[in-house]
Amino acid sequence: MRLVDSVLAGKPLVEQLRPYLENTPNIVLDVEGIDFTSMLIGELANLARDFDKLWVNQPHGMAMTNLKPSSRQVMEAVKFDHIIPIARNYNEALKRLFSGADASRSATG
């Protein structure tokens, strides 16, 4: 799912993406073109937390792809890649999610 469309909508991400969160245990966030701010990182943390709560005790996963190099550095510096793993591209993200590398992630990490 392209996150840029949701970021521009002005509502909290959790509220906008709830239908997706409730209906699929594996989500790839395409963050192409997004510059990360502390507010957006906070919204992503809330999104990951709510996603974990919805799929507790069930295999599930979330990944991000298409980060700008500067955004990737920020996410790695604050260790956010431990909350939502970063993949180089969509295919790598799917492979990681469905191989179990990031599936069955829990709220405790």
Q: Domain extents for the chain?
A: 3-99
Tokens of 86: 């970063």
| Amino acid of residue 68 | K
Return the CATH architecture of domain 3-99: 2-Layer Sandwich (3.30)
Query: Stretch 29-48: mean pLDDT, rounded?
Result: 90
> What's the first-to-final CA gap in the chain, in angstroms?
23
Instruction: Work out whether strand 26-30 and strand 86-87 pair parallel, antiparallel, or are unpaired.
Output: unpaired
The pLDDT value given to residue 8: 65
Query: Stretch 17-32: mean pLDDT, rounded?
Result: 92
The pLDDT value given to residue 63: 94
Q: Is the pLDDT of residue 104 over 60?
A: no
Q: What is the pTM of this model?
A: 0.81
Give the residue, 100 or 101, on which the prediction is more confident: 100
Q: Is the pLDDT of residue 102 over 70?
A: no
Query: What's the mean per-residue pLDDT of the chain?
Result: 85
